[in-house]
Structure 1
Amino acid sequence: MSSTETSPKELLLQAAIVHVPFDGWSQATFDAAVTDTGIERAVANSICPRGAVDLALMYHVQGDAEMVARLQSADLEDMRFRDRIAAAVRYRLEAVEDKETVRRGTALFALPAYAADGAKAIWGTADAIWNALGDTSEDVNWYTKRATLSGVYSSTILYWLGDDSENHADTWAFLDRRIDDVMQIEKLKAQVRDSPVLSKLMAGPNWLLGHIKAPQKASGVGLPGRWDPR
Protein backbone atom coordinates (compact mmCIF):
# COMPACT_ATOMS: atom_id res chain seq x y z
CA MET A 1 0.00 0.00 0.00
CA SER A 2 1.42 3.40 -0.97
CA SER A 3 1.70 6.20 1.57
CA THR A 4 -1.13 8.10 -0.18
CA GLU A 5 -3.53 5.17 -0.41
CA THR A 6 -6.41 5.14 2.06
CA SER A 7 -6.32 2.12 4.35
CA PRO A 8 -9.39 -0.07 4.86
CA LYS A 9 -9.68 1.18 8.44
CA GLU A 10 -9.63 4.81 7.28
CA LEU A 11 -12.33 3.98 4.72
CA LEU A 12 -14.44 2.43 7.45
CA LEU A 13 -13.99 5.51 9.64
CA GLN A 14 -14.94 7.88 6.83
CA ALA A 15 -18.09 5.86 6.18
CA ALA A 16 -18.93 5.51 9.88
CA ILE A 17 -18.77 9.24 10.65
CA VAL A 18 -21.85 9.80 8.49
CA HIS A 19 -23.86 7.44 10.70
CA VAL A 20 -22.47 8.38 14.12
CA PRO A 21 -24.77 11.40 14.72
CA PHE A 22 -27.78 9.08 14.35
CA ASP A 23 -26.61 5.72 15.72
CA GLY A 24 -23.59 6.66 17.84
CA TRP A 25 -20.39 4.64 17.84
CA SER A 26 -22.45 1.46 17.77
CA GLN A 27 -22.63 -1.90 16.05
CA ALA A 28 -25.28 -0.45 13.73
CA THR A 29 -22.83 2.26 12.65
CA PHE A 30 -20.07 -0.28 12.11
CA ASP A 31 -22.36 -2.54 10.07
CA ALA A 32 -23.43 0.42 7.94
CA ALA A 33 -19.79 1.39 7.35
CA VAL A 34 -18.95 -2.13 6.24
CA THR A 35 -21.88 -2.10 3.83
CA ASP A 36 -21.10 1.37 2.50
CA THR A 37 -17.43 0.61 1.83
CA GLY A 38 -17.95 -2.90 0.48
CA ILE A 39 -15.09 -4.17 2.62
CA GLU A 40 -15.30 -7.87 3.38
CA ARG A 41 -16.79 -8.53 6.81
CA ALA A 42 -13.87 -10.76 7.79
CA VAL A 43 -11.41 -8.00 6.90
CA ALA A 44 -13.41 -5.37 8.77
CA ASN A 45 -13.62 -7.55 11.88
CA SER A 46 -9.91 -8.29 11.76
CA ILE A 47 -8.85 -4.63 11.65
CA CYS A 48 -11.58 -3.51 14.08
CA PRO A 49 -12.11 -6.39 16.55
CA ARG A 50 -14.30 -4.15 18.71
CA GLY A 51 -16.11 -2.62 15.79
CA ALA A 52 -17.08 1.02 16.16
CA VAL A 53 -15.10 1.36 19.40
CA ASP A 54 -11.87 0.96 17.45
CA LEU A 55 -13.10 3.50 14.91
CA ALA A 56 -13.95 5.99 17.67
CA LEU A 57 -10.43 5.70 19.03
CA MET A 58 -8.97 6.16 15.56
CA TYR A 59 -11.14 9.26 15.12
CA HIS A 60 -9.73 10.67 18.35
CA VAL A 61 -6.13 9.98 17.32
CA GLN A 62 -6.70 11.68 13.98
CA GLY A 63 -7.95 14.77 15.82
CA ASP A 64 -4.79 14.77 17.91
CA ALA A 65 -2.69 14.59 14.75
CA GLU A 66 -4.52 17.57 13.22
CA MET A 67 -3.93 19.56 16.40
CA VAL A 68 -0.21 18.76 16.43
CA ALA A 69 0.13 19.72 12.76
CA ARG A 70 -1.54 23.07 13.46
CA LEU A 71 0.66 23.68 16.50
CA GLN A 72 3.77 22.98 14.47
CA SER A 73 2.76 25.47 11.79
CA ALA A 74 1.52 28.20 14.16
CA ASP A 75 3.65 31.11 15.34
CA LEU A 76 3.68 30.72 19.12
CA GLU A 77 6.95 32.49 19.76
CA ASP A 78 5.48 35.60 21.39
CA MET A 79 2.89 33.72 23.46
CA ARG A 80 3.16 33.07 27.17
CA PHE A 81 3.45 29.36 27.84
CA ARG A 82 0.01 29.18 29.44
CA ASP A 83 -1.40 30.76 26.27
CA ARG A 84 0.34 28.13 24.16
CA ILE A 85 -1.40 25.43 26.17
CA ALA A 86 -4.74 27.21 25.74
CA ALA A 87 -4.11 27.46 22.00
CA ALA A 88 -3.34 23.75 21.81
CA VAL A 89 -6.59 22.79 23.54
CA ARG A 90 -8.49 25.19 21.31
CA TYR A 91 -6.86 23.76 18.19
CA ARG A 92 -7.82 20.27 19.35
CA LEU A 93 -11.49 21.18 19.71
CA GLU A 94 -11.49 23.12 16.45
CA ALA A 95 -10.28 19.97 14.70
CA VAL A 96 -13.78 18.55 15.25
CA GLU A 97 -16.07 19.09 12.26
CA ASP A 98 -19.25 17.76 13.89
CA LYS A 99 -19.71 18.20 17.63
CA GLU A 100 -22.17 15.30 17.69
CA THR A 101 -19.40 12.80 16.90
CA VAL A 102 -17.62 13.87 20.10
CA ARG A 103 -20.84 13.89 22.10
CA ARG A 104 -21.50 10.32 21.02
CA GLY A 105 -17.92 9.38 21.81
CA THR A 106 -18.22 10.88 25.28
CA ALA A 107 -21.30 8.73 25.87
CA LEU A 108 -19.47 5.64 24.63
CA PHE A 109 -16.39 6.11 26.81
CA ALA A 110 -18.53 6.88 29.85
CA LEU A 111 -19.60 3.22 29.81
CA PRO A 112 -17.65 1.11 32.35
CA ALA A 113 -16.47 -1.31 29.64
CA TYR A 114 -14.75 1.49 27.71
CA ALA A 115 -13.87 3.99 30.44
CA ALA A 116 -10.21 2.93 30.42
CA ASP A 117 -10.04 3.48 26.66
CA GLY A 118 -11.50 6.95 27.10
CA ALA A 119 -9.04 7.85 29.85
CA LYS A 120 -6.15 6.60 27.72
CA ALA A 121 -7.36 8.72 24.79
CA ILE A 122 -7.54 11.86 26.93
CA TRP A 123 -4.07 11.15 28.34
CA GLY A 124 -2.81 10.69 24.79
CA THR A 125 -4.10 14.13 23.85
CA ALA A 126 -2.40 15.73 26.85
CA ASP A 127 0.82 13.89 26.02
CA ALA A 128 0.65 15.04 22.39
CA ILE A 129 0.22 18.66 23.51
CA TRP A 130 3.15 18.60 25.91
CA ASN A 131 5.39 16.87 23.38
CA ALA A 132 4.45 19.37 20.67
CA LEU A 133 5.23 22.24 23.03
CA GLY A 134 8.68 20.84 23.73
CA ASP A 135 8.29 19.36 27.20
CA THR A 136 11.62 17.94 28.40
CA SER A 137 10.65 16.80 31.91
CA GLU A 138 12.21 13.50 32.94
CA ASP A 139 10.84 13.04 36.45
CA VAL A 140 7.46 12.95 38.21
CA ASN A 141 6.61 16.27 36.54
CA TRP A 142 6.17 14.32 33.30
CA TYR A 143 3.16 12.65 34.91
CA THR A 144 1.75 15.62 36.82
CA LYS A 145 1.81 17.84 33.73
CA ARG A 146 -0.17 15.32 31.71
CA ALA A 147 -2.56 14.46 34.52
CA THR A 148 -3.32 18.13 35.14
CA LEU A 149 -3.81 18.91 31.45
CA SER A 150 -6.01 15.82 31.07
CA GLY A 151 -8.30 17.30 33.72
CA VAL A 152 -8.34 20.70 32.04
CA TYR A 153 -9.01 19.19 28.62
CA SER A 154 -11.77 16.81 29.72
CA SER A 155 -13.63 19.51 31.69
CA THR A 156 -13.33 21.89 28.73
CA ILE A 157 -14.79 19.27 26.39
CA LEU A 158 -17.85 18.86 28.60
CA TYR A 159 -18.35 22.64 28.74
CA TRP A 160 -17.82 22.95 24.97
CA LEU A 161 -20.44 20.29 24.23
CA GLY A 162 -23.10 22.43 25.90
CA ASP A 163 -21.83 25.79 24.69
CA ASP A 164 -23.97 27.65 22.14
CA SER A 165 -22.23 31.02 22.48
CA GLU A 166 -20.96 32.76 19.36
CA ASN A 167 -17.71 31.18 18.14
CA HIS A 168 -17.64 29.25 21.45
CA ALA A 169 -16.46 32.38 23.25
CA ASP A 170 -17.75 31.04 26.57
CA THR A 171 -15.71 27.86 26.14
CA TRP A 172 -12.48 29.75 25.56
CA ALA A 173 -13.17 31.88 28.64
CA PHE A 174 -13.83 28.71 30.64
CA LEU A 175 -10.57 27.23 29.36
CA ASP A 176 -8.63 30.33 30.41
CA ARG A 177 -10.09 30.07 33.92
CA ARG A 178 -9.12 26.42 34.22
CA ILE A 179 -5.56 27.16 33.14
CA ASP A 180 -5.40 30.07 35.58
CA ASP A 181 -6.43 27.64 38.34
CA VAL A 182 -3.56 25.33 37.37
CA MET A 183 -1.10 28.22 37.36
CA GLN A 184 -2.15 29.05 40.94
CA ILE A 185 -1.23 25.50 41.94
CA GLU A 186 2.17 25.91 40.30
CA LYS A 187 2.72 29.17 42.20
CA LEU A 188 1.85 27.40 45.45
CA LYS A 189 4.36 24.64 44.69
CA ALA A 190 7.04 27.27 44.05
CA GLN A 191 6.24 28.97 47.35
CA VAL A 192 6.64 25.65 49.17
CA ARG A 193 10.00 25.05 47.51
CA ASP A 194 11.19 28.55 48.47
CA SER A 195 10.00 28.35 52.07
CA PRO A 196 12.75 27.33 54.55
CA VAL A 197 10.20 25.59 56.78
CA LEU A 198 7.89 23.98 54.22
CA SER A 199 10.74 22.82 52.00
CA LYS A 200 12.18 20.85 54.94
CA LEU A 201 8.79 19.29 55.67
CA MET A 202 8.54 18.21 52.03
CA ALA A 203 12.10 16.87 51.85
CA GLY A 204 11.01 13.26 52.36
CA PRO A 205 8.16 13.25 49.83
CA ASN A 206 10.29 15.17 47.33
CA TRP A 207 13.11 12.63 47.71
CA LEU A 208 10.63 9.84 47.04
CA LEU A 209 9.10 11.57 44.02
CA GLY A 210 12.55 12.40 42.72
CA HIS A 211 13.16 8.72 42.02
CA ILE A 212 10.27 8.48 39.57
CA LYS A 213 11.38 8.77 35.96
CA ALA A 214 9.46 9.54 32.77
CA PRO A 215 8.66 6.51 30.56
CA GLN A 216 10.87 7.63 27.69
CA LYS A 217 13.81 7.10 30.04
CA ALA A 218 12.75 3.57 30.91
CA SER A 219 14.82 1.27 28.72
CA GLY A 220 13.26 -2.06 27.88
CA VAL A 221 11.02 -2.38 30.93
CA GLY A 222 7.72 -1.92 29.13
CA LEU A 223 6.20 0.11 31.96
CA PRO A 224 4.73 3.65 32.07
CA GLY A 225 7.57 4.83 34.30
CA ARG A 226 10.30 3.47 36.51
CA TRP A 227 11.86 3.65 39.96
CA ASP A 228 15.45 4.82 40.02
CA PRO A 229 17.19 3.50 43.19
CA ARG A 230 20.20 5.77 42.76
Structure 2
Amino acid sequence: MLRTARLAVLTLYRQNHSTGCRRIHTSRIFSCSKQDSGENEETSSSSDEAFEEEYTNDGVEQIRLEILSASLPFVHTDGWSENAIAQGAESLGYSGMAHGMFPDGGVELVNYFYRICNGKLEEILKEKVIQNEESPQLKQGTTAFIRDAVEIRLRMNIDYLDHWPQAMALHAAPSNINEGLLNVGTLVDHIWYYAGDRSHDFNWYTKRGLLFGVYKTTELCMVQDKSPDFEDTWSFLDRRLSDVSNVAKAVKYANSASKDVHNILQAGIVSALNIVGLNRKSR
Protein backbone atom coordinates (compact mmCIF):
# COMPACT_ATOMS: atom_id res chain seq x y z
CA MET A 1 0.00 0.00 0.00
CA LEU A 2 2.84 2.36 0.85
CA ARG A 3 4.54 1.59 -2.45
CA THR A 4 1.28 2.20 -4.34
CA ALA A 5 0.78 5.54 -2.61
CA ARG A 6 4.33 6.64 -3.41
CA LEU A 7 4.01 5.69 -7.05
CA ALA A 8 0.66 7.44 -7.36
CA VAL A 9 1.99 10.65 -5.83
CA LEU A 10 5.15 10.50 -7.91
CA THR A 11 3.03 10.19 -11.06
CA LEU A 12 1.13 13.32 -10.07
CA TYR A 13 4.43 15.03 -9.32
CA ARG A 14 5.72 14.25 -12.80
CA GLN A 15 2.53 15.50 -14.40
CA ASN A 16 2.34 18.71 -12.38
CA HIS A 17 6.05 19.57 -12.44
CA SER A 18 7.02 18.57 -15.97
CA THR A 19 9.00 21.11 -18.03
CA GLY A 20 9.91 21.45 -21.66
CA CYS A 21 13.52 20.53 -20.94
CA ARG A 22 13.38 16.92 -19.81
CA ARG A 23 10.93 14.03 -20.18
CA ILE A 24 10.96 10.86 -18.15
CA HIS A 25 10.32 7.63 -20.07
CA THR A 26 9.85 4.12 -18.83
CA SER A 27 13.35 2.98 -19.65
CA ARG A 28 15.31 6.05 -20.77
CA ILE A 29 15.69 9.79 -20.18
CA PHE A 30 16.10 12.00 -23.21
CA SER A 31 17.19 15.59 -23.44
CA CYS A 32 14.53 17.54 -25.37
CA SER A 33 17.05 19.70 -27.18
CA LYS A 34 18.92 16.67 -28.47
CA GLN A 35 15.75 14.80 -29.31
CA ASP A 36 14.27 17.74 -31.24
CA SER A 37 17.49 18.21 -33.20
CA GLY A 38 17.43 14.58 -34.29
CA GLU A 39 20.49 13.54 -32.32
CA ASN A 40 20.51 9.97 -31.13
CA GLU A 41 22.71 9.61 -28.08
CA GLU A 42 23.42 6.14 -26.80
CA THR A 43 23.74 5.91 -23.03
CA SER A 44 24.17 2.90 -20.87
CA SER A 45 21.15 1.34 -19.20
CA SER A 46 22.86 1.47 -15.84
CA SER A 47 23.44 5.22 -16.14
CA ASP A 48 19.81 5.80 -17.09
CA GLU A 49 18.58 3.73 -14.19
CA ALA A 50 20.85 5.51 -11.72
CA PHE A 51 19.74 8.93 -12.95
CA GLU A 52 16.06 7.97 -12.88
CA GLU A 53 16.42 6.51 -9.41
CA GLU A 54 18.03 9.74 -8.17
CA TYR A 55 15.32 11.82 -9.84
CA THR A 56 12.63 9.60 -8.35
CA ASN A 57 14.07 9.79 -4.83
CA ASP A 58 14.47 13.56 -5.08
CA GLY A 59 10.95 13.87 -6.43
CA VAL A 60 9.40 11.84 -3.64
CA GLU A 61 11.34 13.74 -0.98
CA GLN A 62 10.25 17.06 -2.50
CA ILE A 63 6.63 15.92 -2.40
CA ARG A 64 7.00 14.84 1.21
CA LEU A 65 8.32 18.26 2.22
CA GLU A 66 5.57 20.04 0.29
CA ILE A 67 2.89 17.92 1.96
CA LEU A 68 4.33 18.40 5.45
CA SER A 69 4.48 22.15 4.94
CA ALA A 70 0.89 22.22 3.67
CA SER A 71 -0.23 20.06 6.60
CA LEU A 72 0.79 22.45 9.38
CA PRO A 73 -2.36 24.63 9.17
CA PHE A 74 -4.48 21.51 9.70
CA VAL A 75 -2.76 20.79 13.02
CA HIS A 76 -5.08 23.40 14.54
CA THR A 77 -8.09 21.19 13.88
CA ASP A 78 -6.68 17.66 13.62
CA GLY A 79 -3.58 17.76 15.80
CA TRP A 80 -0.29 16.14 14.85
CA SER A 81 -1.98 13.30 13.03
CA GLU A 82 -2.21 11.33 9.80
CA ASN A 83 -5.49 13.12 9.12
CA ALA A 84 -3.71 16.49 9.14
CA ILE A 85 -1.17 15.09 6.67
CA ALA A 86 -3.94 13.70 4.45
CA GLN A 87 -5.65 17.10 4.37
CA GLY A 88 -2.36 18.79 3.60
CA ALA A 89 -1.89 16.45 0.65
CA GLU A 90 -5.42 17.09 -0.62
CA SER A 91 -4.89 20.85 -0.39
CA LEU A 92 -2.09 20.42 -2.93
CA GLY A 93 -4.21 18.33 -5.26
CA TYR A 94 -2.79 14.98 -4.21
CA SER A 95 -4.79 12.04 -2.95
CA GLY A 96 -5.44 11.90 0.78
CA MET A 97 -3.86 8.44 0.60
CA ALA A 98 -0.52 10.21 0.27
CA HIS A 99 -0.30 10.04 4.07
CA GLY A 100 0.98 6.52 3.35
CA MET A 101 4.29 8.17 2.44
CA PHE A 102 4.69 8.91 6.17
CA PRO A 103 4.86 5.49 7.84
CA ASP A 104 5.56 6.97 11.28
CA GLY A 105 2.38 9.05 11.17
CA GLY A 106 1.94 12.36 12.96
CA VAL A 107 5.36 12.35 14.60
CA GLU A 108 6.90 12.96 11.16
CA LEU A 109 4.96 16.23 11.07
CA VAL A 110 6.27 17.11 14.54
CA ASN A 111 9.85 16.37 13.45
CA TYR A 112 9.40 18.49 10.33
CA PHE A 113 8.15 21.40 12.43
CA TYR A 114 11.11 21.02 14.79
CA ARG A 115 13.59 21.03 11.91
CA ILE A 116 12.22 24.16 10.26
CA CYS A 117 12.02 25.99 13.59
CA ASN A 118 15.56 24.99 14.50
CA GLY A 119 16.67 26.23 11.08
CA LYS A 120 14.91 29.56 11.61
CA LEU A 121 16.49 29.95 15.03
CA GLU A 122 19.94 29.24 13.62
CA GLU A 123 19.49 31.98 11.02
CA ILE A 124 18.38 34.43 13.73
CA LEU A 125 21.39 33.57 15.90
CA LYS A 126 23.76 33.95 12.96
CA GLU A 127 22.36 37.43 12.36
CA LYS A 128 22.75 38.32 16.03
CA VAL A 129 26.41 37.27 15.95
CA ILE A 130 26.99 39.47 12.89
CA GLN A 131 25.29 42.40 14.62
CA ASN A 132 27.44 41.86 17.71
CA GLU A 133 30.58 41.93 15.58
CA GLU A 134 29.47 45.15 13.92
CA SER A 135 28.41 46.79 17.19
CA PRO A 136 30.49 45.28 20.03
CA GLN A 137 29.05 47.75 22.51
CA LEU A 138 25.64 46.10 22.12
CA LYS A 139 26.92 42.55 22.58
CA GLN A 140 25.02 40.51 25.16
CA GLY A 141 26.56 38.39 27.85
CA THR A 142 26.46 34.64 27.35
CA THR A 143 23.57 34.01 29.75
CA ALA A 144 21.46 36.79 28.22
CA PHE A 145 22.17 35.49 24.72
CA ILE A 146 21.13 31.96 25.69
CA ARG A 147 18.07 33.20 27.53
CA ASP A 148 16.85 35.17 24.50
CA ALA A 149 17.56 32.24 22.17
CA VAL A 150 15.45 29.87 24.28
CA GLU A 151 12.58 32.36 24.39
CA ILE A 152 12.74 32.96 20.63
CA ARG A 153 12.58 29.23 19.97
CA LEU A 154 9.76 28.57 22.43
CA ARG A 155 7.70 31.42 20.98
CA MET A 156 7.72 29.53 17.67
CA ASN A 157 5.50 26.92 19.38
CA ILE A 158 2.80 29.42 20.40
CA ASP A 159 0.62 29.03 17.29
CA TYR A 160 0.45 25.29 17.97
CA LEU A 161 0.39 25.40 21.76
CA ASP A 162 -3.10 23.90 22.11
CA HIS A 163 -1.80 20.71 20.51
CA TRP A 164 1.79 20.87 21.75
CA PRO A 165 1.22 18.38 24.61
CA GLN A 166 0.32 15.86 21.90
CA ALA A 167 3.60 16.62 20.10
CA MET A 168 5.51 16.12 23.36
CA ALA A 169 3.67 12.84 23.97
CA LEU A 170 4.55 11.59 20.48
CA HIS A 171 8.21 12.32 21.09
CA ALA A 172 8.04 10.53 24.44
CA ALA A 173 6.92 7.28 22.81
CA PRO A 174 9.71 4.66 22.92
CA SER A 175 9.82 4.35 19.12
CA ASN A 176 10.16 8.13 18.66
CA ILE A 177 12.22 9.23 21.64
CA ASN A 178 15.63 9.14 19.95
CA GLU A 179 14.53 11.47 17.15
CA GLY A 180 12.82 13.75 19.65
CA LEU A 181 15.93 14.01 21.80
CA LEU A 182 18.08 14.61 18.75
CA ASN A 183 15.83 17.52 17.70
CA VAL A 184 16.30 19.21 21.06
CA GLY A 185 20.00 18.25 21.09
CA THR A 186 20.48 20.04 17.77
CA LEU A 187 18.65 23.06 19.16
CA VAL A 188 20.80 23.42 22.27
CA ASP A 189 23.96 22.81 20.24
CA HIS A 190 23.04 25.69 17.93
CA ILE A 191 22.42 27.98 20.89
CA TRP A 192 25.71 27.21 22.61
CA TYR A 193 27.71 27.42 19.39
CA TYR A 194 26.44 30.89 18.51
CA ALA A 195 26.79 31.95 22.14
CA GLY A 196 30.51 31.45 21.54
CA ASP A 197 31.16 27.99 22.99
CA ARG A 198 33.97 26.17 21.21
CA SER A 199 34.77 23.60 23.86
CA HIS A 200 35.88 20.11 22.85
CA ASP A 201 36.22 18.53 26.26
CA PHE A 202 33.72 17.39 28.88
CA ASN A 203 32.38 20.95 29.11
CA TRP A 204 30.76 20.45 25.71
CA TYR A 205 28.55 17.73 27.16
CA THR A 206 27.92 19.51 30.45
CA LYS A 207 26.75 22.76 28.86
CA ARG A 208 24.42 21.09 26.37
CA GLY A 209 23.05 18.64 28.91
CA LEU A 210 22.19 21.44 31.35
CA LEU A 211 20.60 23.60 28.66
CA PHE A 212 18.67 20.56 27.42
CA GLY A 213 17.06 20.28 30.85
CA VAL A 214 16.33 24.01 31.00
CA TYR A 215 14.65 23.97 27.61
CA LYS A 216 12.44 20.93 28.24
CA THR A 217 11.28 22.05 31.70
CA THR A 218 10.51 25.55 30.40
CA GLU A 219 8.62 24.02 27.47
CA LEU A 220 6.53 22.01 29.93
CA CYS A 221 5.86 25.16 31.97
CA MET A 222 4.77 27.01 28.84
CA VAL A 223 2.02 24.56 27.86
CA GLN A 224 0.41 25.15 31.27
CA ASP A 225 0.96 28.92 31.41
CA LYS A 226 -2.11 31.17 31.34
CA SER A 227 -0.34 34.42 32.23
CA PRO A 228 -0.26 37.40 29.81
CA ASP A 229 2.35 36.88 27.09
CA PHE A 230 3.64 33.87 29.05
CA GLU A 231 5.24 36.05 31.70
CA ASP A 232 5.32 33.16 34.17
CA THR A 233 7.19 31.02 31.63
CA TRP A 234 9.93 33.62 31.11
CA SER A 235 10.27 34.07 34.89
CA PHE A 236 10.58 30.31 35.21
CA LEU A 237 13.25 30.35 32.48
CA ASP A 238 15.23 33.02 34.34
CA ARG A 239 15.14 30.95 37.53
CA ARG A 240 16.25 27.78 35.75
CA LEU A 241 19.18 29.57 34.13
CA SER A 242 20.16 30.92 37.54
CA ASP A 243 19.99 27.39 38.93
CA VAL A 244 22.16 26.13 36.08
CA SER A 245 24.74 28.79 36.82
CA ASN A 246 24.88 27.63 40.43
CA VAL A 247 25.10 23.99 39.36
CA ALA A 248 27.95 24.80 36.98
CA LYS A 249 29.86 26.44 39.82
CA ALA A 250 29.25 23.43 42.04
CA VAL A 251 30.40 21.04 39.32
CA LYS A 252 33.54 23.08 38.79
CA TYR A 253 34.28 22.90 42.52
CA ALA A 254 33.58 19.15 42.59
CA ASN A 255 35.89 18.60 39.65
CA SER A 256 38.78 20.27 41.41
CA ALA A 257 38.00 18.58 44.72
CA SER A 258 37.85 14.99 43.48
CA LYS A 259 39.40 13.92 40.23
CA ASP A 260 38.24 10.31 40.62
CA VAL A 261 34.61 11.33 41.18
CA HIS A 262 34.83 13.65 38.19
CA ASN A 263 36.09 10.86 35.94
CA ILE A 264 33.32 8.50 37.02
CA LEU A 265 30.63 11.14 36.48
CA GLN A 266 32.11 12.11 33.14
CA ALA A 267 32.04 8.53 31.87
CA GLY A 268 28.42 8.07 32.93
CA ILE A 269 27.16 11.35 31.52
CA VAL A 270 28.99 10.96 28.22
CA SER A 271 27.54 7.46 27.83
CA ALA A 272 24.02 8.76 28.46
CA LEU A 273 24.43 11.59 25.98
CA ASN A 274 25.82 9.18 23.40
CA ILE A 275 22.69 7.07 23.71
CA VAL A 276 20.32 9.99 23.00
CA GLY A 277 22.47 11.50 20.28
CA LEU A 278 23.65 14.63 22.07
CA ASN A 279 27.20 13.77 21.17
CA ARG A 280 26.52 14.58 17.52
CA LYS A 281 28.29 17.91 17.29
CA SER A 282 27.00 20.09 14.46
CA ARG A 283 30.35 21.83 14.04
Q: TM-score, normalised by structure 2?
A: 0.63
Change (3 A) 1:115 1:207: closer
Residue aligning to 2:87: 32
Residue aligning to 1:20: 75
Shift of 1:159: 0.7
Shift of 1:188: 1.3
C-alpha deviations, 1:9-55, integer Å up to 9, x for none?
33212321122122221222222222222236787644x34233222
Q: What is the RMSD computed on CA atoms of the aligned residues?
A: 3.1
C-alpha deviations, 1:181-223, integer Å up to 9, x for none?
00001111233355xxx2xxx22344567899x9xxxxxxxx9
Unaligned regions of 5+ residues in structure 1, if any?
215-222, 226-230
Q: Does 1:172 align with 2:227?
A: no
Shift of 1:123: 1.6
Distance in 1, matches of 2:186 and 2:95, equals 31
Residue aligning to 1:82: 143
Distance in 2, matches of 1:102 and 1:143, equals 27
Distance in 1, matches of 2:252 and 2:182, equals 29
Q: Does 1:51 align with 2:105?
A: yes
Equivalent residue for 2:153, pick from 92, 95, 98: 92
Preserved contact between residue 86 and residue 98 of structure 2 (Cα < 8 Å): no
Distance in 1, matches of 2:162 and 2:190, equals 23
Residue aligning to 2:122: 68
Q: Does 1:132 align with 2:190?
A: no
Residue aligning to 1:203: 259
Preserved contact between residue 255 and residue 262 of structure 2 (Cα < 8 Å): no
Unaligned regions of 5+ residues in structure 2, if any?
1-16, 18-60, 133-137, 271-277
Change (3 A) 1:32 1:42: closer
Q: TM-score, normalised by structure 1?
A: 0.76
Letter in 2 for 1:69: E
Distance in 1, matches of 2:254 and 2:173, equals 40
C-alpha deviations, 1:82-140, integer Å up to 9, x for none?
11111110110122351235333113223333233222222221122122223211122
Which stretch has the larger CA shift, 175-184 or 20-29? 20-29
What does 1:2-13 align with in structure 2 at a 5 Å threshold? 7-13=62-68
Preserved contact between residue 80 and residue 106 of structure 2 (Cα < 8 Å): yes
Change (3 A) 1:140 1:190: closer
Equivalent pairs counted in the alignment come to 206
Distance in 2, matches of 1:162 and 1:209, equals 34
Preserved contact between residue 78 and residue 84 of structure 2 (Cα < 8 Å): yes
Shift of 1:64: 0.9
Preserved contact between residue 89 and residue 98 of structure 2 (Cα < 8 Å): no
Which stretch has the larger CA shift, 25-34 or 179-188? 25-34
Change (3 A) 1:21 1:41: closer
Shift of 1:61: 1.0
Shift of 1:73: 2.0
